[in-house]
């Protein structure tokens, strides 16, 4: 599963609403869809800058990391969400929850086959196909480099 959007209105951010929402959603999904993998697309704060409306990408990353999310070691991009709309590069693909059957074959990894199937389906659903462009082939190279499991990135020092 992919958490596409979790947003809290400016002015009430930081009050715990987002954490309660995220906790309730992931608990519900684990119950309804176990075993499952719950992912989220989160802007890489080294490449994206926020605003009052969209929030701070660094703070958003810290929010998810503080709740146990882990960043997969992949050059992830959000597929185009509609004809003529660009992809969004430089995103983190974060794991919010992974049931044990979907762990990779080595410690601190997620099953590469499951991740690849999800990414392919996400591209087909969003863009109508799995392309052979530079971004997509770079993503497959990263997935294929880890057949025993996609590793998590080391946690950022600021988390």
**What span, in angstroms and rounded, lies between the C-alpha atoms of 106 and 86?**
35
Average predicted confidence (pLDDT) for the chain? 91
Whole-number pLDDT of residue 134: 97
| C-alpha dist (Å) from residue 8 to 14, 17, 30, 64, 153 | 9, 7, 23, 14, 27
Whole-number pLDDT of residue 159: 44
String of b and e for 25-48 (b: at least 16 CB within 10 Å)? Answer: ebeebbeeeeebbbbbbbbebeeb
Of 2-6, 16-20, 95-99, 147-151, the poorest mean pLDDT is in 2-6
* Closest listed residue to residue 77, CA positions, set 127, 22, 113: 127
Dump pLDDT digits (tens) for 68-106.
999 999 999 999 999 899 999 999 999 999 999 999 999
Whole-number pLDDT of residue 6: 80
| Domain parsing of the chain, residue ranges | 2-151
Q: Which residues lie closer than 8 Å to 15 by C-beta, 6 or more apart?
A: 8
The mean per-residue pLDDT over the stretch 8-15 comes to: 83
Q: What pTM did the predictor assign? A: 0.89
């Amino acid at each position: 599963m992919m958490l596409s959007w979790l947003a809290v209105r400016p002015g009430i951010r930081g009050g715990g609403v987002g954490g309660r929402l995220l906790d309730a959603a992931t608990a519900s999904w684990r119950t309804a869809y176990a075993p499952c993998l719950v992912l989220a697309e989160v802007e890489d704060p080294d490449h994206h800058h926020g605003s009052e409306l969209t929030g701070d990408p660094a703070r958003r990353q810290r929010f998810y990391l503080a709740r146990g999310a882990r960043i997969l070691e992949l050059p992830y991009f959000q597929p185009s969400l509609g004809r003529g709309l660009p992809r969004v590069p430089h995103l983190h693909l974060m794991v919010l929850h992974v049931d044990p059957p979907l762990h990779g074959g080595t410690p601190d990894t997620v099953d590469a086959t499951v991740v690849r199937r999800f990414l392919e389906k996400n591209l087909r659903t969003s863009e109508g196909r799995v392309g052979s462009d530079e971004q997509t082939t770079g993503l497959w190279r990263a997935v294929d480099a880890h057949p025993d499991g996609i590793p998590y990135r080391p946690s950022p020092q600021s988390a």
